Amino acid sequence: MKIAILGGDGFVGWPSTLHLSDLGHQVHIIDNLSRRWIDTELGVQSLTPMDSIQERCRIWREVTGRRIHFHLLDVAKEYERLKGWLAQERPDAIIHFAEQRAAPYSMKSDRHKVYTVNNNTNATHNLLAAMVETGIDAHLVHLGTMGVYGYSSVGAAIPEGYLDVEVENLKGEKVHQEILYPTRPGSVYHMTKSLDQILFQFYAQNDGLRITDLHQGIVWGTHTAQTRMHEQLINRFDYDGDYGTVLNRFLIQAAIDYPLTVHGTGGQTRAFIHIQDSVRCIELALGDAPKAGEKVRIFNQMTETHRIRDLAGIVCDLVGAKTVMLPNPRKEAEENDLVVKNDQFLKLGLQPTTLADGLLSEMVDVARKYAHRIDRSRVPAVSAWTKDIARAINHDP
Ligand code: USQ
C-alpha cells in the first residue's frame, strides 16, 4: 500500500512509520515538525538524542534499503498544498497523528488552549474535506484517545466507541439506539479528540469516507523492533512535566534518584499500552478497513489498566525509588475504577505486551544511559488546570 503518515516524526508516528515501511509499504511522512518546535519553546529535549527527520530516513535506507519519503507540510494551515498532495499521490491509506497530544501543554495558558484547538481541529477537518474533494478512496486511521470517554464512576465496562441505549418512542415502546459513547474529556487536548469524533461521524455518513478511530491509552516504552536496528533510529522519550507520560516519567525519575511524582492520592486508574503494541495495532487496523457507508470503526487501543499509585509501587519495588504525593495540578477524579473492552484487537491477533514482560528494567537502563541529558528542573508537572489550582499549588497562573 501507499501510506501517508501525518505526524510521522512524533512519538508514535516515527515507530509506526518504521514498522509499516518494514512490512514493505510505500510510506510518506507528512509533518510540520511542530513537536520539535515545541521542545524549543519549552526549553526541553527528548531524553534520547534524536536526529533530524531527513537523517533518520537516510539511516533507515542505509540499514534496510527501504525508502521513506518526507514532506514538510502543515496539515492544519496549508489546506491547498495538502489537497494538491493527496490529488497527486492518491494514497491507499492515511494515518493521522498530526495533532498536539499533551494534555498539560494544552492547559498551560489561553494561548496553548487556542493553539491546540486550532491545530487539532483544523488538521482533522482539512484532511476530511480534502479527501472528499480529491475523491480518493483512502482508509483513514486516526489516533484518538481513551480520554474521550472520561473516567465515570458507574463501574460499567467501557465499550469500543458505541453505546447501546434503550429509549421510549412516541408509541411508548422501548427501542434500542446505538450512539457514540458520550464524551467527557478531562483537558482541552482530550476535548479536541472528542470533537474529532463528531467530524468523523459526519464525513462517514455524508460522504462515505472509510474511517477507523483508535482510542489509545497511555503509551509506555520507547523502543520497537525497528528503532532498535540502529542508534540513530531511536525514538523520542519525553520526561518533562508536559509531554512525559506517567509511567515513562516514573521510570526516568527512578533512574536519576528523583522521587516518583504521584499526583493527589494516586487513585486515578488509567489504560496503558506498550509502544510495540501500539504500532502493531496500527498495522492490524489498516488491514481491517470499514466499507464505504459503514459507521466509523472504533477500537480501544489499550492492553491493561493500572492505578497510578500501584504503578509507582511497581517501579519502587523494581528500582528502590521513593515516592512523593503531590497536590494534583489537574482537575480530575481522585479515585476511579476503569474496565475497558478491547476484544476487537485481541480478535485480530494482538498479543499484549504487559508490564510483567520485563521491559520496565530495559527502560530504566535507557534512562540511565542518557541520564546526563536530563534537566531535573524540567521534571515537575507545573501546568495547572485552573487558576484556582495554580494559586493553590503556588504557581503563577
Ligand atoms: N500523573 C501523575 N504523575 C505524573 C504525571 C501524571 O500522577 O508525574 C497522573 C495524571 O495526573 C493523570 C495520569 O497520571 O491522572 C495520566 O497522566 P499522563 O500524563 O500519563 O496521561 P494523559 O495526560 O492522559 O495523556 C497521555 C498522552 C495523550 C494520550 C493519553 C491517553 O499524552 O496523548 O491521549 O495519555 S489517555 O490518558 O488514556 O487518554
In terms of residue numbers, what domain contains 367? 2-392
Residue 114 contacts residue 122 (beta carbons within 8 Å): no
Cell numbers 524549543: residue:
40
Q: Is residue 360 assigned to a domain? A: yes
Domain count, the chain: 1
Residue 211 contacts residue 136 (beta carbons within 8 Å): no
| H and E: helices and strands count for the chain | 13, 14
3-state helix, strand, coil in the chain (%, to 5): 40, 20, 40
The partner residues of 93 in beta bridges, in order of sequence, read: 3, 139
What's phi and psi for 70, nearest 5 deg? -120, 130
Q: Is residue 65 assigned to a domain? A: yes
| Pocket probe mutation, ligand 1, options 193, 245, 265, 334, max atoms within 8 Å of Cβ | 245
Q: Is residue 397 assigned to a domain? A: no
* Dihedral sign (CA 239, 27, 21, 281): positive
Count of CA atoms in the C-beta half-sphere (13 A) of 106:
20
Please report the atom of ligand 1 found closest to the CA of residue 144: 34
Per residue of the chain (397 residues), what is the pLDDT tens digit?
Answer: 999 999 999 999 999 999 999 999 999 999 999 999 999 999 999 999 999 999 999 999 999 999 999 999 999 999 999 999 999 999 999 999 999 999 999 999 999 999 999 999 999 999 999 999 999 999 999 999 999 999 876 778 999 999 999 999 999 999 999 999 999 999 999 999 999 999 999 999 999 999 999 999 999 999 999 999 999 999 999 999 999 999 999 999 999 999 999 999 999 999 999 999 999 999 999 999 999 999 999 999 999 999 999 999 999 999 989 999 999 999 999 999 999 999 999 999 999 999 887 789 888 999 999 999 999 999 999 999 999 999 998 755 4
- Our answer on whether the CB atom of 185 is closer than 6 Å to any ligand 1 atom is no
Neighbouring residues of 126: CB distance < 8 A, sequence distance ≥ 6: 75, 76, 79, 82
Q: Is residue 61 assigned to a domain? A: yes
Cβ-count burial 171-188 (b if 16+ within 10 Å, e if not):
eeeeeeeeebbebebbbb
Task: Say what the ipTM of the complex is.
Answer: 0.99
- Our answer on whether the CB atom of 103 is closer than 6 Å to any ligand 1 atom is yes
Q: Is residue 253 assigned to a domain? A: yes
Cell numbers 479536541: residue:
192
What is the C-alpha separation between 202 and 42, in angstroms, rounded? 36
> What's the CATH number where 46 sits?
3.40.50.720
Cα–Cα distance list, 35 to 8, 350, 390 (Å): 11, 29, 25
